[in-house]
Amino acid sequence: MPRIPKERLEKYLNLQREFKEERYINLHPIQRGGVLTDAARKALTEFGDGYSTCDWCPPKAARLDAIERPPIAQFMQDLAEFLGMDVARVVTRCREAQFIAFATLGEPGDYVVVDGLAHYSTYIAAELARLKIKEVPHGGHPEFRLDLDAYAGKIEEVKRETGKLPAVVLLTHVDYLYGNLNDAMVVGKICKKYGVPFLLNAAYTAGIMPTDGKKLGADVIVSSGHKSWAASAPTGILALKEELADRVLARSKMVGDWSERKFGLKEYALLGCTVMGGPLISLMSSFPHVVERVKRWGEEVEKTIYLIEQLERIEGTQQLGIKPKQHTLTHMESDGFYKVSQTHKRRGFFLYEELKRRGIVGIQAGLTKHFKLNTYGLTKTKVERVAKAFLEIAREQGLAVK
């Protein structure tokens, strides 16, 4: 039996997080929409044990989404309704939701058409489902705007090359790199015309801004609980139009060759039950808050635009992506801070360190020329503190501030 020395084990006790919400202003681009509500944090310990949600699993219909106590079954319905969809499931990650859609809607060798700014997880979800990728191009600096009308041409291209339509068409609603918001309706209409399932990756939108699948023409919406629903990780959302539910949530057809056992209740691409316990309950507990907060999306974008205006006062600094911003995830380019980094004794790390000294974290350490940030959910006062800190650092480092 292998033995691990005590001193190596002790480091796993009393693990602390340095960047707690009450100690720092955290601008990390992917973290803002996932900060837990108090209700979610409380629920986490109540349902910390993994199977705590399963005490009342119905014996004749043993499946997570059928549990009524706590009200998981009702939550799945409310979640679908909130997204303007018909059926919803909570899965382990947004990327798993993508994989489930790819694996059930496509056959190995089929194509998925995706936007050229899709997240890496889209590519590897396709890879695991043994599908090929065709990308819709985006424009160059500084907007990096996607050519949404080009989806039609890419669908045609797949048909021409393979004699078959793509299995799925995917659009990243807001991309991870520039935070550009895409008009999903354009792609929804194209997909409807061709009769191809339209998957909207709403990892950065559903849960923080209004996202109505019906209006957008989405057949599948995927999202991330820990990115945009004030839920613990790992939680993904998979929401479907009724028409696709039978395919994506297909039941197991496996039969034991000797035992003759069958598992016909289980949704096989989900591998049966998915996210039990704390993470699921945290998502449910934050849901009332999430339903309210999406209505205040306009205020969130205003705070971002204010911060960008302040940052752009700094010599050689501009926002990348489409202007004016329609989302809180922001990519800044700064020749000014880059110039400083060339001679500063801390090189590119000065910006991170100067911000941290002022109680601000989340900008990637070492970056100056390009850095991303997100103000979602920060109070106006905190956003003002962030603006002030950046301007102060710029002046201290001898940059001109308009």
Interactions with a copy of itself, residue window 356-375 (CB under 8 A) = 361, 364-366
| Interaction between residue 268 and a copy of itself (CB under 8 A) | yes
Cα 62 off chain centre by: 29
CB 171 within 8 A of CB 183: no
> Of these, 153, 272, 324, 398, which contacts a copy of itself (CB under 8 A)?
272
Closest-CA residue to 277 (of 320, 232, 339, 247):
232
What strands lie across the sheet with 220-224, from one edge to the other? Answer: 87-91, 236-240, 220-224, 198-201, 168-172, 111-115, 132-136
> Of these, 193, 263, 353, 400, which contacts a copy of itself (CB under 8 A)?
263
| Interaction between residue 227 and a copy of itself (CB under 8 A) | yes
Residues 94-133 that bind a copy of itself (CB under 8 A): 95-96, 99, 103, 108, 116, 120-121, 123-128, 133
What pairing do the DSSP bridges indicate for beta strands 87-91 and 236-240? antiparallel
CB 30 within 8 A of CB 176: yes
CB 385 within 8 A of CB 371: no
| Interaction between residue 306 and a copy of itself (CB under 8 A) | no
Task: Give the alpha-carbon dihedral of 15, 20, 22, 28, to 10 degrees.
Answer: 180
| Interaction between residue 86 and a copy of itself (CB under 8 A) | no
CB 330 within 8 A of CB 373: yes
Q: Which is nearer to a copy of itself, 119 or 303 (CB)?
A: 119
> Of these, 140, 141, 160, 261, which contacts a copy of itself (CB under 8 A)?
261
**Min CB(266)–a copy of itself separation in Å:** 6
What pairing do the DSSP bridges indicate for beta strands 220-224 and 236-240? antiparallel
Q: Which is nearer to a copy of itself, 7 or 163 (CB)?
A: 7
> Of these, 25, 65, 76, 84, which contacts a copy of itself (CB under 8 A)?
84
Site string for a copy of itself, 36-75 (x = CB under 8 A): x--xxxxxxxxxxxxxx-xx---x----------xx--xx
**Min CB(28)–a copy of itself separation in Å:** 7
What pairing do the DSSP bridges indicate for beta strands 317-319 and 329-334? antiparallel
Amino acid found at 327: H
**Min CB(290)–a copy of itself separation in Å:** 10
| Interaction between residue 275 and a copy of itself (CB under 8 A) | yes
Q: What is the rounded distance in angstroms from the CA atom of residue 335 to the CA atom of residue 318?
A: 9
**Min CB(192)–a copy of itself separation in Å:** 20
> Of these, 27, 87, 92, 341, which contacts a copy of itself (CB under 8 A)?
92
Q: Which is nearer to a copy of itself, 124 or 400 (CB)?
A: 124
Q: Which is nearer to a copy of itself, 6 or 345 (CB)?
A: 6
What pairing do the DSSP bridges indicate for beta strands 220-224 and 198-201? parallel
Q: What is the rounded distance in angstroms from the CA atom of residue 37 to the CA atom of residue 43?
A: 10
Burial category of 93 from C-beta neighbours within 10 Å (exposed 0-12, middle 13-18, buried 19 and up) = buried
| Interaction between residue 312 and a copy of itself (CB under 8 A) | no
Closest-CA residue to 392 (of 319, 326, 337):
337
Residues 375-394 that bind a copy of itself (CB under 8 A): none
Q: Which is nearer to a copy of itself, 74 or 388 (CB)?
A: 74
Residues 239-258 that bind a copy of itself (CB under 8 A): 252-254, 256-258
Q: Which stretch binds a copy of itself (CB under 8 A): 181-189, 228-236, 323-331, 369-377?
A: 228-236
Residues 131-190 that bind a copy of itself (CB under 8 A): 133-137
| Interaction between residue 328 and a copy of itself (CB under 8 A) | no
| Interaction between residue 217 and a copy of itself (CB under 8 A) | no
DSSP state letter for 163: S
**Min CB(197)–a copy of itself separation in Å:** 19
Cross-strand pairs, 372: 331
Identify the three-state secondary structure at position 348. Answer: coil
